[in-house]
Structure 1
Amino acid sequence: MASDPKNFVFEDVVKHNKTKDCWLIINGKVYDVTPFMEDHPGGDEVLLAATGKDATDDFEDVGHSDDARDMMHKYYIGEVDRATVPKKRTYVAPADRSYNPDKTSDFIVKILQFVVPLVILGLAFAVRSYTKEKSA
């Protein structure tokens, strides 16, 4: 561990978001993982993707080994003031809009919502008529 741990505010930690200068926040602690960038088993992209936020969930979701957790001590440089860390945002879908992943225009979506059931119904009648003719 660092001999003189410091207290950081979130805004200062998130400035360290490059391969040659990378800090992470995990469980309220700040780690300078710059020396570990080339050695990280998941690659430096994984570490860079965890900058600019509280990376605790990212770290825990991977299921790091005890050895990995022990290794963290040498990168520890201080604590983050948790009051300065933004609250996690959760996505809230608009109530009046249906899910539209490919951004198709609303007009097209409404037409398809009307036309597709009619086409299916038409096919059902066609199949029914065809099977009646074959059996007669």
Structure 2
Amino acid sequence: MSKVFTLEDVAKHNSKEDCWLIIGGKVYDVTKFLEDHPGGDDVLLSSTGKDATDDFEDVGHSNTARAMMDEYLVGEIDASTIPSRTKYVPPKQPHYNQDKTHEFVIKILQFLVPLAILGLAVAVRMYTKSESA
């Protein structure tokens, strides 16, 4: 049975002489691997005391690198000690008028107003012609 550690336990191991990481819910003592890590020891040291799973996955480690991890495994993390990730909440935005009622009314008016003006002009012209006759 593997040992279970808290986040606080892992956070205490944060130096070149004693470096632990959390990856995929498991705790690894990578102290002996610091000098051999292709990305340098700074990459590993910057991930101590936190869940480094995303950092590990983002790099795209090879199957060989993943197989090497078993050598450094010291236990598992107590998931209740890792802060839950905050859920993304989109910012509030103004209401979008999907039925476009406002645009429809404007288009109707853009058609009807010139038509009404044209009709009024024709009516005035006919009226003035009938008066002059």
TM range (shorter): 0.5 to 0.7
Instruction: Identify which of 37, 41, 66 aligns with 1:40.
Output: 37
User: 1: distance between equivalents of 2:18 and 2:43?
Assistant: 14
Q: TM-score, normalised by structure 1?
A: 0.62
Identity over aligned pairs, percent: 66
Greater gyration radius:
2
* 3-state SS of 1:71 partner: helix
Structure number with the higher helix fraction is: 2
The gaps in structure 2 that reach 5 residues or longer are 93-133
How many pairs does the alignment contain?
A: 91
Alignment of 1:1-136 (within 5 A): 5-88=2-85
Task: Classify 1:89/1:19 alpha carbon distance in 2 versus 1 (closer, same or farther; 3 Å).
Answer: farther
* 3-state SS of 1:37 partner: helix
Shift >6 Å, 4+ stretches: none
User: 2: distance between equivalents of 1:87 and 1:27?
Assistant: 14
The gaps in structure 1 that reach 5 residues or longer are 96-136
- RMSD, aligned α-carbons: 2.0
* 3-state SS of 1:12 partner: helix
